[in-house]
Amino acid sequence: HPVLWHNMNIYSSKGNKDFVIALGYKATIIKECFLNYSSLNADLTVAMETGDITWHSPSQLDWKVTLIDTGLHTMTGGRIRRLKEYLKGEPFMMTYGDGVSDIDIDDLLEFHRSHGKMVTVTTVRPVARFGELDLHGTRVKSFKEKPQTGMGWINGGFFVMQPEFLDLIADDATVLEREPLEEVAARGELMAYRHEGFWQCMDSVRDR
């Protein structure tokens, strides 16, 4: 299964099964994945003469997946803005399509509702690329193989947003992580949900 499928399962496992996907690069391949999902993940009989299909074990997924082509060169903020009519003026959860985590979506949503602000961003401390040695002169005091970094928190990509946030996105050229989120932070409307558990993005072949 593609990483996007695993990413969606993070939400589905907590009962969130209505997805709107902003497509750009390789949009056709992603559409084909969902269009053909049932036939590729079920037992079936095909009557070659008539084309009739008998399903023996239909897909167990009960997701509703809306696939919207938001343009090949649209920036991250612009893609979300293009989904406005499909979000129905309601609060929504948003994430990138390449990060997996053991985040508790219910807890994230409860935290967002508790503070009443416009946006919640999940913050994480990723695993360091290399192991760490704590040295005292030439003596190794401790040896940690690829520990979770003790440095600052970073954007983990799991957001909860109020619908009015969409009004801060100007156009297709708007980068989500710049003007819109910077503005929300300046207003005191951006809150951080700290996730201490597993998190991994896939920005490169090495990450994959």
* pLDDT tens digit sequence for 1-29: 889 999 999 999 999 999 999 999 999 99
Q: Which residues contact 90 (CB under 8 A, 6 or more apart)?
A: 163
Query: How much is the average pLDDT of 195-203?
Result: 90
* Residue 121 bridge partners (DSSP): 159, 192
- Among the listed residues 37, 57, 30, the one whose alpha carbon sits nearest the alpha carbon of residue 45: 57
Q: What is the pLDDT of residue 145?
A: 64
Q: What is the pLDDT of residue 150?
A: 59
Q: What is the pLDDT of residue 126?
A: 80
Q: What is the pLDDT of residue 158?
A: 97
pLDDT greater than 60 at residue 144: yes
Q: CA angle at residue 62 from 67 to 108, to 5 degrees? A: 80
Determine the residue type at 138: T
Q: How far is CA 192 from CA 12, 159, 198, in A?
A: 23, 9, 17
Q: How far is CA 15 from CA 62, 67, 106, 199, in A?
A: 10, 20, 9, 21
Give CA–CA dist 111/93, Å, rounded.
13
pLDDT by residue (tens digit) across 37-89?
Answer: 888 888 889 999 999 989 888 777 899 999 999 999 999 999 999 999 999 99
- Among the listed residues 82, 38, 97, 63, the one whose alpha carbon sits nearest the alpha carbon of residue 174: 82
Q: What is the pLDDT of residue 59?
A: 74
pTM (two decimals): 0.84
Reported as half-sphere exposure (CB side, CA atoms, 13 A), residue 67 has a value of: 15
**Confidence class of residue 136 from pLDDT cuts 50, 70 and 90?**
confident
pLDDT greater than 90 at residue 204: no
Query: How much is the average pLDDT of 96-114?
Result: 95
Q: Where are the alpha helices (DSSP H) in 52-174?
A: 76-81, 105-115
pLDDT greater than 90 at residue 111: yes
Q: List Cβ<8 Å contacts ≥24 apart for 29-33.
A: 30/4, 30/67, 31/67, 33/2, 33/4, 33/5
SS3 53: strand
